[in-house]
Amino acid sequence: MIIRKTPEEIEQMKAAGSVAKAALRHVGSMVRPGVSTLELDQVAESFIRIHGAEPTFKGYGGFPASICASVNEQVVHGIPSPDRILQEGDIVSIDVGATKDGWVGDNAWTFYVGEPSREAKELCEVTHDCLRAAIKQAVPGNRIGDVGAACQELAERHGFGVLRDYVGHGVGHEMHEDPNVPNYGRHGRGVRLEAGMVIAIEPMICAGSYRVRVSPNGWTVSTADGKLAAHYENTIAITEEGPVILTADDEGPWCAMEGGAA
Ligand code: MG
């Protein structure tokens, strides 16, 4: 069941989105060689709590941490660890959710650790462009397939793979609501978008094949071919005035973050 939000509720959701974005930006500023992904997790958790919110991911389905930190060939759901030390040239996808006043904000960004390879940079820039292209389609009257198709067309034009096994989702009081929001699809197909729907659009793009495997830990999703993957996400409200990015902060949603693709 798709739960549409009133304009007042969408306004309320901005508080959660703002904390999620600020936490992501803050964690991103700490990404550098020598830092462990557990350190990033601890920073994120205290940042979120200081700002009067709860880390949505912690305990969600038994997930043990406040962020997902997915390095290189890891696509999503990487578990922060003191043993995973970021190395020069890595890319790390950080996904963070914040719950404030009963509403959820969910966002992700792939950061560069030091200087990225040319391949990594292209993958990240294209994935971020996929997010932008998909968001532009999030308007009343369009369909979910228009969102996915915009992402898929751009990624595949660059020879990249679009994950099939994991998709975006509705957001509200729960992190995962209806509808599913695939990053692939066909124009004019799927659920019709209406004002008041709030969705997380989150392209997960692979440098090679979209096939993935899940780690024995039950969480970490990696590319089957071991090639790099990138992940960018925003929580979007669909309104008559167009898509509104709820995971924005005072610096605006599209500012370059340190170490990330602009
Ligand atoms: Mg999400």
pLDDT at 250: 52
Q: Return d(Cα 255, Cα 207) in angstroms, integer.
A: 24
Q: Return d(Cα 116, Cα 122) in angstroms, integer.
A: 9
pLDDT at 248: 83
Q: How far is the CA of 93 from the centre of ligand 1 (A)?
A: 12
Q: How far is the CA of 139 from the centre of ligand 1 (A)?
A: 19
Can you spell out the DSSP letters for 133-199?
Answer: HHHHT-STT-BHHHHHHHHHHHHHHTTPEEPSS--EEE-SSSSSEEEEE-S---TT-SSBP-TT-EE
Topology (CATH level 3) of domain 7-256: Creatine Amidinohydrolase (3.90.230)
Report yes or no: 69 and 78 within 8 Å, Cβ to Cβ: yes
Q: How far is the CA of 233 from the centre of ligand 1 (A)?
A: 7
Q: Domain map of the chain by residue range? A: 7-256
Other Cβ atoms less than 10 A from the Cβ of 123: the count is 25
Q: How far is the CA of 242 from the centre of ligand 1 (A)?
A: 21
Q: Return d(Cα 203, Cα 162) in angstroms, integer.
A: 8
Nearest Cα residue to 77 out of 213, 221, 234: 221
Q: For the chain, which ranges sit under pLDDT 50? A: 252-262
Q: How far is the CA of 203 from the centre of ligand 1 (A)?
A: 10
Q: How far is the CA of 114 from the centre of ligand 1 (A)?
A: 26
Q: How far is the CA of 197 from the centre of ligand 1 (A)?
A: 15
22 is written with which tokens? 């600020």
Report yes or no: 160 and 123 within 8 Å, Cβ to Cβ: yes
Q: How far is the CA of 102 from the centre of ligand 1 (A)?
A: 17
pLDDT at 175: 97
Summarised one tens digit per residue, pLDDT across range 89-134 is 999 999 999 999 999 999 999 999 999 999 999 999 999 999 999 9
Considering the entire predicted model, what is its pTM? 0.95
Q: Return d(Cα 243, Cα 226) in angstroms, integer.
A: 35
pLDDT at 112: 96
Helix (H, G, I), strand (E, B) or coil at 105: strand
Q: Which are the contacts of 56, defined by CB distance < 8 A and separation ≥ 6?
A: 97, 98, 99, 104, 106, 175
pLDDT at 98: 98
Please, what's the b/e burial string for 224-246 (b: 16 or more CB within 10 A of its CB; e: otherwise)? eeebbbbbbbbbbbbbeeebbbb
Q: Which residues have their alpha-adjacent CB atom under 5 A from ion ligand 1? A: 106, 200, 202
Report yes or no: 116 and 91 within 8 Å, Cβ to Cβ: yes
Q: How far is the CA of 237 from the centre of ligand 1 (A)?
A: 14
Q: How far is the CA of 13 from the centre of ligand 1 (A)?
A: 15
